[in-house]
Amino acid sequence: MNLVETLRTRAEATPERPAIIEKKRQITYGELWQRVQGGAQQFKETGLRKGEAILIIHPVSIKLYEVLLSAFHAGLVAVLLDPAKGTRFLDDRLAWFPVRAFFGSPKAHLLRLKSRQLRKLERHLHSGPWLPFSQAWNPTSTSAEIEPTNADDPALVTFTSGSTGRPKGVVRSHRFLLAQDHTLGQSLALKEGQIDLITLPVFLLANLSHGLTSVIADTDLSKPGRPNIPKISAQIRQHAITRATASPAFFEKLPDSLLTSLSEIYTGGAPVFTDLLTRLKNCGVRAHAIYGSTEAEPISHFNADDLNDDLLNTISNGGGLPAGHPVPEIEVKIIKDHWGKPLPQMTTSELQALESQVGEILVSGDHVLKGYLAGRGDEESKITVDEKIWHRTGDAGRFDHSGQLWLLGRCGARWKDYYPLQIEAAVHVLKPGWKCAFFKGLLIVEENPERLGEALNWIPGLNFVQVEKIPMDQRHNAKIDYPMLEAHLAGAKLPR
């Protein structure tokens, strides 16, 4: 059981079809499969063996996927780390989950000057030109058999940032990756031969197994809210791109003239508000908002075509943000909000007694993470119910009469009886295009909030604060950076 087997199937069926396009370079399915086989052989010749871990730090590119898939092929555990977190974060994570080898871009190899853990590694590989004390990534034409793996063998390890608690290690098994791949294929309606503009790396793996051509957006992917419009426009024209998968911040900055050239858009990784969905719908695009998380991707999806006056009225009166119906491959429950308190093992009937109309969102399924590395984080976010594991998402929500899931916001950000998305989603209906953040009874906006209080009179005690700029997360540029916001409200200067 190994995800690369799906790549082999695609390569045998359509070897000449472009698999990944990166700026002026492209690689076909046949070429990619050949490189992955050669890469697995290079790993073995380097001395790496099944079950050992390799750290990968490299920009999203063809070579990144060559190395990642070669690692799966060889039965290695791929460990991905964000270098922007700093050397201390890197060393702490590697001390926690040791690796034997390191593959990185030339720039990433500069981390060896500061990282004690990197210097201790036995093997170093690099892309690009020559580097001292490192072997060049150069897959040979020698074929290697796919290393047999068990379903629950680890395949991919990432780490949470720890911005909302202790950092956690996320270990994805081969079983998990295949289940996620299947579910994404269904939820995103992936069809062989489609050409997809990509900024979110996880979705490119699903594209490869379903026979799509993935065009990596020619922009700084670390800043999705600042897309390079001329280059992306050129890519859409040159490659006849029909669909795109990216953060909502990316689509917010694309002009209507580009959006109208696309037929389908999938967006997620942050709340997708109705003003964006309405704009995409008006551009003639079939737009879909995907709700999920690192531990469970996807959970549900909402189609912009389902937006109507009744839904918008519900949102503007505090109903929350519609997230669509859960995907068939997942179970979702709403329980009373106990966030911040560990919950003990319980029986099914005991869990049923906790169910509530509004509260915490729990999920369970094959593509839901069963536990974190070394169990760190399990106590506060996992519940065992008659041997079934449920994940506590930390999000609050509710179901309506039709079975549609509505998001209300983070459980830990509740103020009195209100959650952030109840207010923020309402503002996006009342004032399309506005940025806002609900925080501890304050509605922070960038525009003059005059007359907004009258429209939000269903929230007693609400106060308004106008700021020059609301800070957003670095990864998606679409989530509120609450620690930065709190520092700003306390008097610290907010960076522009």
For residue range 97-141, what is the model confidence (pLDDT) as tens digits? 999 999 999 999 999 999 999 999 989 999 988 899 999 999 987
Cα torsion 377, 378, 380, 381: sign: positive
The residue-averaged pLDDT of 29-40 equals: 97
CATH topology classification for 4-159: Rossmann fold (3.40.50)
Q: At 495, is the pLDDT very low, low, confident or very high (cuts 50, 70, 90)?
A: very low
Rounded percentage of the chain residues whose pLDDT exceeds 90:
85
pLDDT at 263 over 90: yes
Cα torsion 478, 481, 484, 490: sign: positive
**What is the pLDDT, as a whole number, of residue 437?**
95
- Whether the link from the prior residue into 106 is cis, omega within 30° of 0, is no
pLDDT at 333 over 70: yes
Q: At which residue do the structure tokens 């308004």 appear?
A: 464
Q: At 345, is the pLDDT very low, low, confident or very high (cuts 50, 70, 90)?
A: very high
pLDDT at 69 over 80: yes
Q: At 165, is the pLDDT very low, low, confident or very high (cuts 50, 70, 90)?
A: low
Cα–Cα dist 285/305, whole Å: 9
Cα–Cα dist 258/255, whole Å: 6
Cα–Cα dist 100/320, whole Å: 47
At residue 179, φ and ψ (nearest 5 deg) are -65, -40
